[in-house]
Each structure stands twice: as structure tokens, then as C-alpha cells.
Amino acid sequence: MKREEQQDVAQLRSTISALEQLLEVQEQCVVEQSDNVQNLLRDLKERNTEMNRLNGALQGEVAERKRVAEALRSSNDALHAIIQASPLGVLVIDRDGLVKMWNPALERIFGWGEAEVLEGPMPFIPPDKLEESRALRTRVLRNEAFSNVEVVRRKKDGSPVEISLSTAPLHDVNGNISGILGIMADITEHKRAEAALRDSEEQYRALFDSSRDALLLLDHQGFFDCNAAAVQLFGAASKAQLIGVPPWQLSPPTQPDGGESLVGAKDRIAKAYEQGTQFFEWLHRRLDGSLFPADVLLSRYERRGKPVLQAAVRDITERKRDQEQLMEQVRLKAFAAAIAETLAASGSLAGGLQGCTEAMVRYLDGAFARVWMLDPSGTELVMRASAGLYTNLEGAHYRIPVGQFKIGLIAQEQKPHLTNNVIGDPRVPQQDWAKREGMVAFAGYPLLLEGRMLGVMAMFARKPLSENVLQAMHNVAQSVAQFVERKKTEAALAETLAKLQALVRSAPIGINILDAAGHVVLWNPACEALFGWTEQEVLGRPLPTVPESKRDELQSIMDRARQEKFVRILDTKRVTKDGRIVSVELSVSLLRNVSNEVVGYLGMMIDLAERKNLETQMRQFDRLSALTQVLGGIAHQLKNPLFILMGQQRLLEDTAQRYHYDAVMADIHKTQETAKRLAAIVQQFLHLAGPVLPNQGRSSVMAAVKRTLDRLGEELERKHIQVAAAYPQDLPDIEADPALLDDIFLQLMRNAIEAMEKTRGRGTLTVSVQLVTDTGTRGPGDAEIAASPPRRVAASADTGHGDTETRGRGETESAASPRFPVSASAAEGDWIEVRIQDDGPGIPPELRNKLFEPFFTTKPPGEGTGLGLWIVRSNLMMLHGTVQVESEEGQGATFLVRLPVVTEPPLRLDPPPAAGLGTPSSDVG
């Protein structure tokens, strides 16, 4: 039992002892004054009232004890012990009047034991009092409560006993009345004591005057008597200052609940006259104007034939202060717990700050609370949370310059500003607003972390803030600062992680991560493209790319990584989803957590097919180098005689025309065509042997396409070839030699014309130009143009560095397709795509991969050299462009040329060994 409760119990025992002594004295007074019956009757009523007052005081002590017990939240065992040890009878009945609790005091009062009465009706009600009891129970079940109602009941032996009864309804968890609590005191002896007290006016007066509680007697005109404790309590110089004063004049205009004191006082006085007693808590005012809380007991008694009231007033300032401190401690603990939960559970900075402001308003009785954060410039505070009276963030105080107003000064000085006197505070310029809203206190704290200013937290309140509350806010300010820093760090980490994830997903090399058990936890798109398995197929499973023959090697690599932290395998074998074996370069790094525990392995793989293709190309270049040297020498030897031969043919043609030798003109033309074909072959040989770098400059692809079509106009008409062309508006220029562009398009278009003429004798040549972005979507262009492949295909298409990529219509890029960055500008995603499509016989699948090889031709012997497409490919290499083929046998072929749009001239690419990049003749090989 705590100290305050022990004091209350001791005081209760002292009161009971005094009453017992008083009874003994009054018994003697009854014998001595039995002759004065009239005075006895008169005093009997007065003493009866006094005893009621004493009994009420006793009941007040019990109620106070119960409130203290409740405030201290005693355990059920302690509460049961108190009930069992209580000198007052404690009875609990249900709605039907059946007994649910019967303490030992009731057994002492009535004689029935607990086992005799539990779950049965109340046995102590006389037959003639049953109706009275039912009526009283009905009123309590209507949520009325009664204090110190005097009733007559009977004991087990049938003898009557006088009881002071106080009742109250009991509620269940849903707020419904489930029963009745009754507190009973045997006042038989008290009644006898009152009779004795009526015989001794002097002793009563002594008791009245010596009471520690302020006692005042009042009638309908006001107070007409009081004791010395009342004079002292209300700060009067003498009784005369209190006599004739109505009770409400010793009260402030309103009570803490907002009710008017005049109305409340009159209501309670009327009830006391009606019911006999009234016990309540009241806010009184002394004559000097100071206020104090008090417990007030009003007791009615008859004095000289008329009813009057006695008011017992006890100052409970200390008790209220103790209660308020206890409640404040409970609130502050709940406040700290709410803040901790909010900061731990909040997923966002804004949510956490808003939760903190709401907790300040809820648990600290704040009028409103706000948080400002320092902006990145460090010159302004920006409101991020607001709760209570104002919740709008974007108001007049949304942005506050550092160093201005009270909030800005807190940030500048990095010191709190605390006041319980908002009215008159020079840092609160809105004094009219503060008065109107009843603002009393303000507390503002800087949010500091290691000397760095992060923001300001502040709260206004309509009542003073205690030191404990201010300390709690100080602690919360530190927690909020740490929360802000943590969220900023998390945001930075999230941004970094997002960038890392984007980097991993866009990386051209395969990247995967295995956990410590060897299961896949990351699988980037490059891995999917290289091996064929999607991310969903491999996550959480063992690595599927390791052939059975390499299982031991993988374990060995993981063991080495644990020791060396990094392992690199220059050439190893892996298997794809379709069963192909591919060569990769593998790098493995060990991953550890912050506790230095191994959590996984980072693997990076590079497809070696590209590198091996390049090696194959270089070997081909070496072989071609020797051949082109021989061809160059032969071409130089043939060039001059061929020039003389062609000149003689022209002279022969002129002579035949002049002398009308029409019979030989056809033969002359045949020899001229043969000489031209031979000249083209010589020119191509010279091109291979001695490349000439083109003259780069700003060129229009669309203009080159149009020039080529104009140049071929007569041939197209003669061979019955229709042209379907689609051009966009305002295509950007590229860096290229116009003559080089003309030769590229001329070669491709003539190939298409020849294919259609030989198979059908007619056809349609479809030419389209469009802008392609890095996502594969078209720029401004004609709606009839077929959708372009994504840029990734273009970037990975043949650039002359590896095997040519060709595919049928609708086929997608294979996982093994070579991938090389075209140029820095191409990575920005701007390409001009030219599609040259015929409706000829198409290209058989077995021939597609050979189209761009030197000396490969599908034409009959003597009609082509097989160098035309090779030169197209070589020229596009020079321009950092690409060429692809889409074809289905019997459905024609489409050649796709892509040229990068650049803002700066591209770096010149040295020609590969023995691969000519000069300007060939327009004849097709």
C-alpha cells in the first residue's frame, strides 16, 4: 500500500475511534440530562444531522480511498483484500437482485455468511420493505446513484438494524448496466451517538469548531455559521465575512467542465434538500481571488423546525496535484511509446512527421503542432507536418526564411524557445490571435544531429507546459532528428539502389547473383538474352547454365572466391535453354554483409562468340590480304590495255554509225558491255587493293535515296518495276560522303530490280525512310512504314565486326547475336532507317548468312564478282551504320540500312586489312 493510501486508512481509523469515544461520553450525558425532554427532542434533530454529516464524511473517506485505489490500479488480489478487510459492507447484485458479492463486513452486520446468500435473493429485507427495495433497485438500474440513504433492514436473528446505504450501477464492457454495487454501514450505534450528542451542545460545538474540514451552515439566504477551518480556508478575517454570502459567490464564474457556478451550485443545493446529501468536487474561490479544488459534502438536517444544510469543504489541491502528476506521467509514457511506434513503423518521412505532430496534440494537450524541414539551400524552412487546430501545410507559414519569426530564429540560433506566457512574448507578434484562441504556452525545438540543423518542431498549447512535458518534447526532438536523418539516408540508398538496378538491367554483359546456398536471386536481361531462361524461371533455383561436366568447376570457383574474393575464368563453357554450348568469360566476386558473413556470389559473364567471330574475321582478312595484293597487281596490269580497248570500241562504234554498218552494231554493243563489266571488275579489284577514304560531310539520306531512284528511273520503267516510296518530313542530316550513300543505295536497289526482273519480269520496289529512337519506336514518318525493330537489334546487327546477321520475316534476334556499341551518338538512340523491299523470290535460309561474304554470289559465272554486298557492308562500317536482311523464301527480301544521327563528326574508322572502302562502279557483282 502506498504512503498516501496508508495515510487515508489511518485517518479513517482515527475518525472511527473518535466516534466510539464520543458515544461513551454521550451515553453519560443522556442519563444526566434525561429530565430535559424538550431540549433533547430539539437537540436530537440537530445531533442526528451532525451524525449524518460525520457518517457522510466517513463515506467520503471510503470513496476517496476507492479513488486512490483505482488511480493506483491495484491488482485484483489487492482489491479483493481491501473489500474483504473493509469495515463497510460491500454488496453486488445482478439485475435480477441475486447476490454476487458478500464481504465479511456484511456477515458481521447481518449474521448471514457468504455461502448462505450467494446466488440467492437479499435475505435482510423485511417484508414491509420489499416494495421500497424494488423501487430503489429500479432507479439504480436506470443509471441513478444514491449516497447515504438511511434504510431499516433485519438481521439473521430477526432484529432490526439501521443502515446507511450508497448505491451505484455497474456497467459491462459494452457500457450496459449489468448489476448494482451497494456500500452499507451499520449506523445503529451512530444513531445512538447522535442521540447522545443532542444532549451536549457544548461538546457538539467543540467538535464543529475543531474539525479539520471547513464546515459551513447555510439556508436559502446563504451561510449563517462556519467554523474556524472555513474562515482560514477561504482567507477571511472573521466569520462575519462569510455570513450571509451565497455559495456561488465563493466560486469562479464557471467550473472546469464549462458549466456556470451559479447554476451548478443551486442545482446541488436543491438535490441536497431533496435527497438529504450531495457529495461532489467543486472549484472554489477565496476572498483574495485565488482558486482551489475541493470535495464538498452537503448534508440536510432539521434545525429549530426548519431544514438547513451543512457544507463540509476539504481542500484537495495537493491530492489533485498528485493525481495530475500521476496522469501526466501516464500520458508522457504513452506519448513516448506512440512516438517510438510511429518512427519505427512509418514507411515515409512525411508519414512519420505527421504521426509525431498528431501524438503531440493528443498526449500533450497541444492546440496544434508542426514540423518544418530545412530545404537543400539551407535558407528556408518548409512545413512538412501539421496537426490539431491547423492541418493545412501550404498556408502562410509554409515557407519561413531562416532567421525570421520565432521558427526561423530557432533554426538560426539552434536553441529552443519555451514560454508559458504567450501573451506578451515579443517572439509571438500575433497577440490578437493568441488572445482570441486562448494560447498560453509555446515550445519550439531545433532538430539537431551532430550539430547539423535539420528542421524545427513546435507546439502551441492553451495551458502551461510543465517541466516534464518540456523534457519529453526535448527527447522527442532528438528522436525526430535521428528519424529524419535515417529517412534521408534510406532515400539516398533507394536512389542509389535504383541506379544500380538500372545499371544491372541495362548492362550488355550477363550479371547474376547467387545466395550462399547457390540459388539464383538476381538474373539480368543480358543473362536472359544469352542463355534463354527468363528471370521467373531461374529465381530461387540452382544455376541452370552449368553443364554437368562443369559442376565440379563451379564448386571450385565458389571455394576459390571464398579465399581469394575474386575469380576470373577467361574461357569456360555454359549451356543455353535450347541445349547449345556457349563459351563465356566468367568473373565471380564474393558478397558479404555488414557482419562480414558470406551471403552470396556475384557472377558476370561475357559471350565469347563475338570475340571468336572477330578472330575468325581477322584470319579471313589475312587470307584476303595476300589475295587482294595479287588482284591489285593484275588490275593495274589490265587497267591501261582495257582503257585503250574501250577507246577503240568507241571509235569503232562512231565509224560504224558514220558508214551505217548496222549489221555489226549489235556485236559492237556486246563487246562494249563486256568491256564495261570487265572495267567494273578491275575497279572492284582496285578498291580492295587500294582503299580511298570518303569525304565526310553533312548529308541527307532522303536526298541520296531520291537521287538513286531518279538515276534508276529509265531502268525501272524498262523492266516494268513500280516504285512505292514513303518519306517523312524534316529528317536530320548525318555525317557521310554523299557519293558513298549513293553507291550503297544503288547497289541494294539494283540487286532488288534484278531479282524481280529475272523471276517475274515485273515487280514493286518499296522504299521507306524513317527516324528510329533508342526504344525502337519510330519518329515522324509515314504511317504505312512497317514498325522498325527495336534499337537493340540495330545496335547488335552486323557492323562488319562479326558474322552478318540475317533473319526471316518475323524472326527475333537470337541470343547469340553479336552485340557491339555502334558509337557514342548512336547510344543516344537516333537512327535513320532505310528499308529497300522487293517482291522477288526471296533468299533461301541457307544462303542468308553468306550474303555479305566477299566473292559470294548467286549469279551465274561471268555475271558477278560477289563483291557488291561486301562493299556495301564495308562502306556502312565506315559510316558506323548497319545492314540487315529480312527474307522469307518466295516472299521477297528487305534490306534494312541504319545510319546513326550524330551531333559531332564520327571518328574515322581505319579500313580492315585488304578490305577496300573506295567508291566502286555502279555495276552489281
174 and 247 fall within a common domain: no
The mean pLDDT value for 560-579 works out to: 87
Domain residue limits at 304: 213-315
> For 790-828, what is each residue's pLDDT tens digit?
333 333 333 333 333 333 433 433 333 333 333 333 345
Residue 924 covered by a domain: no
Residue 792 covered by a domain: yes
- Which stretches of 588-729 are DSSP H helices? 609-658, 662-689, 701-711, 713-718
d(CA 707, CA 694): 19
469 and 553 fall within a common domain: no
d(CA 240, CA 250): 14
699 and 837 fall within a common domain: yes
Q: What per-residue confidence (pLDDT) applies to 446?
A: 95
pLDDT over 90 at 421, yes or no: yes
221 and 304 fall within a common domain: yes
∠ CA 798-800-805, nearest 5°, is: 25
Domains in the chain, number: 6
842 and 702 fall within a common domain: yes
Name the pTM for this structure: 0.42
With cut-offs at 50, 70 and 90, classify the pLDDT of residue 78. low
With cut-offs at 50, 70 and 90, classify the pLDDT of residue 447. very high
Q: Which residue has the higher pLDDT, 206 or 376?
A: 376
Last residue of a domain, one of 165, 196, 227: 196
With cut-offs at 50, 70 and 90, classify the pLDDT of residue 532. very high
The mean pLDDT value for 606-625 works out to: 72
Residue 917 covered by a domain: no
Residue 470 corresponds to which amino acid? Answer: L
Residue 500 covered by a domain: no
> For 132-163, what is each residue's pLDDT tens digit?
889 888 998 888 888 888 899 999 999 999 99
pLDDT over 90 at 516, yes or no: no
At 841, which CATH number? 3.30.565.10
Q: What per-residue confidence (pLDDT) applies to 705?
A: 93
564 and 651 fall within a common domain: no
Residue 660 corresponds to which amino acid? Answer: H
Q: What per-residue confidence (pLDDT) applies to 14?
A: 40
Q: Closest by alpha carbon to 226, among 235, 237, 215?
A: 215
Last residue of a domain, one of 438, 462, 494: 494
Residue 919 covered by a domain: no
At 228, which CATH number? 3.30.450.20
Q: What per-residue confidence (pLDDT) applies to 31?
A: 40
44 and 104 fall within a common domain: yes
Q: Which segment of 59-63, 619-623, 783-787 scores lowest on mean pLDDT?
A: 783-787
Q: Closest by alpha carbon to 402, among 456, 451, 447?
A: 456
Question: Which phi and psi angles does 649 have, rounded to 5°?
Answer: -65, -40
307 and 333 fall within a common domain: no
- Within 10 angstroms of residue 725's Cβ, the number of other Cβ atoms is 14
Q: What per-residue confidence (pLDDT) applies to 212?
A: 83
Residue 907 covered by a domain: no
pLDDT over 70 at 66, yes or no: no
pLDDT over 80 at 783, yes or no: no
Query: 65 and 8 in contact (C-beta within 8 Å)?
Result: yes
pLDDT over 70 at 443, yes or no: yes
Query: 204 and 95 in contact (C-beta within 8 Å)?
Result: no
d(CA 195, CA 188): 11
pLDDT over 50 at 763, yes or no: yes
Residue 696 covered by a domain: yes
Q: Which residue has the higher pLDDT, 369 or 72?
A: 369
Residue 135 covered by a domain: yes
Q: What per-residue confidence (pLDDT) applies to 76?
A: 60
Burial class of residue 670 in the structure, from the number of CB atoms within 10 Å of its CB (0-12 exposed, 13-18 middle, 19+ buried): exposed
Q: What per-residue confidence (pLDDT) applies to 922?
A: 33
**272-286, 495-509, 653-667, 731-745 — most confident range:** 272-286
With cut-offs at 50, 70 and 90, classify the pLDDT of residue 11. very low
Percent of the chain residues past pLDDT 90, beyond the cut: 34
594 and 625 fall within a common domain: no
Listed in sequence order, the residues at least 6 apart from 310 whose beta carbon sits closer than 8 Å to its beta carbon are 49, 50, 53, 215, 216, 217, 218, 298, 299, 301
Q: What per-residue confidence (pLDDT) applies to 255?
A: 93
The mean pLDDT value for 832-836 works out to: 94
pLDDT over 70 at 630, yes or no: no
**38-52, 588-602, 832-846 — most confident range:** 832-846
Last residue of a domain, one of 434, 466, 494: 494
Helix (H) or strand (E) holding 172: none
The mean pLDDT value for 584-598 works out to: 86
329 and 256 fall within a common domain: no
665 and 601 fall within a common domain: no
Q: Which segment of 59-63, 605-609, 795-799, 888-892 scores lowest on mean pLDDT?
A: 795-799
Q: Closest by alpha carbon to 687, among 639, 647, 644?
A: 639
Per DSSP, what are the bridge partners of residue 292?
Answer: 284
Q: What per-residue confidence (pLDDT) applies to 218?
A: 92
Q: What per-residue confidence (pLDDT) applies to 693?
A: 54
- Between 37-71 and 188-198, two packed helices, what is the crossing angle to 10 degrees? 130
At 420, which CATH number? 3.30.450.40
Residue 296 corresponds to which amino acid? Answer: V
With cut-offs at 50, 70 and 90, classify the pLDDT of residue 268. very high
CA dihedral sign of residues 611, 612, 615, 616: negative
111 and 243 fall within a common domain: no
- Within 10 angstroms of residue 154's Cβ, the number of other Cβ atoms is 17
Q: Closest by alpha carbon to 337, among 362, 312, 318?
A: 362
The mean pLDDT value for 347-353 works out to: 90
Q: Which segment of 178-192, 786-800, 899-913 scores lowest on mean pLDDT?
A: 786-800
Q: What is the rounded average pLDDT for all residues in the chain? A: 79
Q: Closest by alpha carbon to 884, among 856, 843, 919?
A: 843
CA dihedral sign of residues 827, 832, 833, 834: negative
